[in-house]
Amino acid sequence: MNEGTPIISELEVATQFAKLTKLQKLAILLLMLSQENAAQILKALDEQDLEEVSSEMVKLDSVSQELQMEVLREFSSVAVEGATAITGGSGRARGLLEKSVGLFRSSDIIGRISPQRAPVVAMQQIVDMDVRHIFSLLRHEQLQIIVLVISYLSQDKASQLLSMFRDQQREQIIERLATMMPTSVQVVENVAEALQSRVGNNRNRALNQTGGIGVAAQVLNSMNQNLSKPILMSISERNPELGEAIVKKMFTFEELDRLDIKTLQTILQSVDTRMLAVSLKSAPEKLKKTLLSCISKRAAENLREEMTFMGPLRASEIEEARSQILENVRRLEAEGDISLEELRHKPRY
């Protein structure tokens, strides 16, 4: 044993092991495995089990070698890759989740179960409301209150709500969301209770606070590009550093040419020819060449002919086609058929 490593008695190990739940044992085992092997196990879990075991991995700090051995005795068919103490936490859990369910779902799960965010028990009634009702409740509120509520919504719900505000308000909301600092639980509870007093009965349930650049990027990713692009451009003009930080967390249609051919071929297999033609109608020539190089020469020629003869298209029709393709990318990435992880380390041009 390495010098400085505390010696744990057999009785202490047995006591610690006896207190572990099945989920905690599985969390420890997953942290002992390589990310690739752990990801295969995580893929087999349903949404609830995935969130629960992820929560246990995040909570873990350090697991002694002795306790690891006890866990391995129970999972006797599993081979151990290392013999040193293992470390948990949100960073390790995020890495495993990204490999098993993709960047999009992993961010959502970590955002819900991260222990770094204090739970608040006064926001659930508002979160559960219909988007239009939330908009009616918030439309005349101060900007900081709107942003606070949006930070608690799911990505889809937040993007729907954001689309109901005026252009200038959307830009302000995204910018404030990206620069949002931690808010005290008492302040959040006071705001939620004041809003609840206008909608009826008070039902409480704990939530995890969200916010920050990652959340802002996820909301923009969930919106049609004809809405998200102007918002991002306006933010970048006022605050270039913030705009660049948000962009680094996003994945856009134009970035498809940064993917490798195999990944693009997987994406295009489930894209309708007409949809691809519409999406490329006003795309940069470099992107057109990249995507057309991933299909057969004959199919590429037919596609170019279709783009030529389809005539002018409404911008909204083009953006809708691109949004559907990006949604397909998210689905494939979440299902583990493709990976976007390496894009985070590639420079943007």
- Residues 71, 99, single domain; the answer is yes
In the predicted model, what is the mean pLDDT of the chain? 75
**Is residue 5 in a domain?**
no
State the DSSP code for 283: S
Write out the residue range of the structural domain in which residue 228 sits. Answer: 120-248
Of 44, 56, 115, the C-alpha closest to 88 is 56
- Residues 289, 325, single domain; the answer is yes
CATH of the domain at 150: 1.10.220.30
- Residues 98, 131, single domain; the answer is no
> Look-up: residue for tokens 């134009």?
254
Given 116, 143, 159, the domain boundary residue is: 116
Given 248, 268, 294, the domain boundary residue is: 248
What Å distances lie between residue 137 and 5, 161, 287, CA to CA? 56, 11, 43
Q: Could you tell me which residues come within 8 angstroms of residue 307 by beta carbon, excluding any fewer than 6 positions away?
A: 277, 280, 281
pLDDT at 86: 46
- The SS3 of residue 141 is coil
- Residues 165, 48, single domain; the answer is no
- Residues 273, 219, single domain; the answer is no
Contact by Cβ (8 Å): 27, 53? yes
**Is residue 298 in a domain?**
yes
CA distance linking residue 174 with residue 214, whole number of Å: 11
- Residues 32, 145, single domain; the answer is no
Residue 249 has pLDDT above 60, yes or no: yes
Q: Let me know the angle formed at the C-alpha of 295 by 294 and 301, rounded to the nearest 5 degrees.
A: 125
pLDDT at 278: 92
- Residues 217, 260, single domain; the answer is no
CATH of the domain at 93: 1.10.220
- Residues 101, 146, single domain; the answer is no
**Is residue 3 in a domain?**
no
Q: Tell me whether residue 48 is exposed, middle or buried, using C-beta atoms within 10 angstroms of its C-beta: 0 to 12, 13 to 18, 19 or more.
A: exposed
**Is residue 176 in a domain?**
yes
**Is residue 103 in a domain?**
yes
> Look-up: residue for tokens 């006003």?
282
**Amino acid identity for residue 269 in this structure:** Q
Phi and psi (nearest 5°) for 142?
-70, 155
Pairing of strands 207-208, 119-120: antiparallel
Contact by Cβ (8 Å): 178, 236? no
Contact by Cβ (8 Å): 137, 126? yes
CA distance linking residue 65 with residue 229, whole number of Å: 50
> Look-up: residue for tokens 């004809």?
226
CA distance linking residue 98 with residue 95, whole number of Å: 5
- The SS3 of residue 101 is helix
- Residues 201, 134, single domain; the answer is yes
Mean pLDDT, residues 69-90: 55
Residue 153 has pLDDT above 60, yes or no: yes
Compute the chain's Rg from CA coordinates: 24
3-state helix, strand, coil in the chain (%, to 5): 65, 0, 30
- Residues 56, 151, single domain; the answer is no
Q: How many domains does the chain fold into?
A: 3
**Is residue 57 in a domain?**
yes
- Residues 261, 236, single domain; the answer is no
Least confident of 151-160, 165-174, 214-223: 214-223
- Residues 139, 87, single domain; the answer is no
pTM score? 0.38
**Is residue 42 in a domain?**
yes
Given 98, 116, 134, the domain boundary residue is: 116
Residue 245 has pLDDT above 50, yes or no: yes
**Is residue 2 in a domain?**
no
Give strand ranges (E) for 112-213: 119-120, 207-208
Least confident of 79-83, 168-172, 225-229: 79-83
